[in-house]
Each structure stands twice: as structure tokens, then as C-alpha cells.
Amino acid sequence: MGRAFEYRRASKEARWDKMSKLFPKLGKAITVAAKEGGCDPELNPKLRTAIMTAKAQNMPKDNIDAAIKRANGKDSADIKTIFYDGKAANGVQIIVETATDNQTRTVANVKSIFNKNGGELLPSGSLSFMFARKAVFETSAFEGDVEELELNLIDAGLEELSAGENGLVITGGYESFGTLSHAIEAAGLSIQSGKLQFVPNTTITLDEAALSEAEKLIDKLEDDDDVQAVYTNIE
């Protein structure tokens, strides 16, 4: 069948593998957001943004609807967002965000990944002063006046606006998530992703070998089913 067929098959399998890992994580994010703030996206900015993020990743509508419904079901009753602090070699600091219905399983898995990959799990809250919680949005490209957009978003809590790979990266304070998301939509921008993230107060630069070592640990953490996001102080 030739190399072209093999390439297309490998590419398709890679997409399926990515979706099989990504969709459950997106679904958990939707369920947790709905559980925390209600199942109406119009009244729940976190849920609305979680849905937008899922749609941007081509998550089927049926999966999104099912994730929202789970927020009212008994299966979601014990799903909680838990954060774990850790460190790796060369001064790397790591905060792991999880969504889990079994904290014993999750902490055991996270600790094992750290231990097996040259890292160490730290007491909860150890890195709280090293990172700041921020509302971070990635949007579609903006064709208008960026300075005018900045002025319009400042009142909604904008702290920083920069150009990303395919659009804008908009950052605001933790407490401004709802007002900022509304203002972004009102400006005619499409939100590709948006969530509360941990942003390091200071960053470090690693050489190629040290970066490769850190990335192995980060990749293992991100592959865990309960892990929603991994934040580091790497530049």
C-alpha cells in the first residue's frame, strides 16, 4: 500500500491516541465546572469557557452534553480538584492539577511518577508563594486595533495581552475570570481555551540536557488519567 498509506494510518492513530487521552480530561473539566457553578453555561463562565475549549479540540457535542449531565449524577459527587507540589533536578518547580474521585490512587500515582523520574513530591502548599493563580485565555486572531482592545479589557481585569501562535494570549487576575471571559466574547473574539493557571513569579532557563530530563517527568505526569494540567517555572 506504500509509504503514503502508512503515514496516513500512523497520523490517524496518533490523532486517535491524542483524543483518547484528551477528551476524558476535557470532560472532567466540564463536569467539575458544572458541579461548582451550575449547569447553565450562560450563568457559569468557567463552564462556558470549558465548553469552548472542548469545542476548539473538536470534542463531539454528545460528549460535552454527557459531561454536563454527570455534574448532577452520583458518579461525579466525589470528583474534586486537588493540587500537588513537586520539584525536579536543576531547580525545576512543578504544580500538578488533578481532578479525581480517588485521592489515594491519585497521590500514589503522582508520587510514583516523581520518584521514578528524578523528582520529589513536596508537602501541599510548598510552592504557593512561587506561583500566582491567573486567568489565562487563548483566543482567535484579532484584526482590529489591539491598543483599543487592551483599553476595553483593562476594566474587566486584563493584566497582560500578547500575541500567541494563532491568536492572542490574554491574562488577568484569578478573581477576574468571569468578567474577563465576558469582555473577550463581547469584543468579538473566539475563546480557544481558557482556565485558571499557575504562572511562576520567576522562571529558569535550562540547557538541552536538563530540559529533556524535565520534559520526561512532565510527559509522564500529563499522561496520567487524573492529571488535568502541569505547571512549571521553566522559561
Q: Kindly tell me if the per-residue pLDDT of 73 is higher than 60.
A: yes
Per-residue pLDDT averaged across 68-81, rounded? 78
Tell me: do 124 and 207 sit in the same domain: yes
Q: Alpha helices, DSSP H only, in 131-229?
A: 146-154, 177-186, 208-223
Q: Given this model, what pLDDT does residue 19 score?
A: 53
Tell me: do 7 and 60 sit in the same domain: yes
pTM (predicted TM-score): 0.84
Tell me: do 172 and 67 sit in the same domain: no
Please state, in angstroms and rounded to a whole number, the distance separating the CA atoms of residues 17 and 121.
28
What separation in angstroms does the CA of 113 have from each of 101, 118, 197, 220? 19, 9, 22, 7
Q: Kindly tell me if the per-residue pLDDT of 11 is higher than 70.
A: no
Tell me: do 119 and 178 sit in the same domain: no
In three-state form (DSSP H/G/I as H, E/B as E, the rest C), the secondary structure along 15-61 is HHHHHHHHHHHHHHHHHHHHHHHCCCCCCCHHHHHHHHHHHHCCCCH
Tell me: do 206 and 196 sit in the same domain: no
Element (H, E) at 87: strand 80-87
Tell me: do 27 and 50 sit in the same domain: yes
Q: Given this model, what pLDDT does residue 74 score?
A: 63
Mean pLDDT of the chain: 88
Tell me: do 61 and 99 sit in the same domain: no
Q: Kindly tell me if the per-residue pLDDT of 79 is higher than 60.
A: yes
pLDDT level of residue 20 (50, 70, 90 thresholds): low
Tell me: do 141 and 94 sit in the same domain: no
Please state, in angstroms and rounded to a whole number, the distance separating the CA atoms of residues 142 and 59.
24
Tell me: do 195 and 153 sit in the same domain: yes
Please state, in angstroms and rounded to a whole number, the distance separating the CA atoms of residues 143 and 168.
11
Range of the domain at 20: 2-76
pLDDT level of residue 7 (50, 70, 90 thresholds): very low
**Residue 153 contacts residue 108 (beta carbons within 8 Å):** no
Please state, in angstroms and rounded to a whole number, the distance separating the CA atoms of residues 213 and 38.
41
Q: Kindly tell me if the per-residue pLDDT of 109 is higher than 90.
A: yes
Residue tagged 486595533 (cell numbers) = 145
As a whole number of Å, the CA-based R_g of the chain is: 19
Q: In the chain, how many domains are there?
A: 3
Tell me: do 181 and 93 sit in the same domain: no
Per-residue pLDDT averaged across 139-160, rounded? 91
Per-residue pLDDT averaged across 111-131, rounded? 96
Pick from 12, 223, 217: which is nearest to 115 by CA? 217
Please state, in angstroms and rounded to a whole number, the distance separating the CA atoms of residues 213 and 218.
9
Tell me: do 24 and 43 sit in the same domain: yes
Per-residue pLDDT averaged across 180-184, rounded? 94
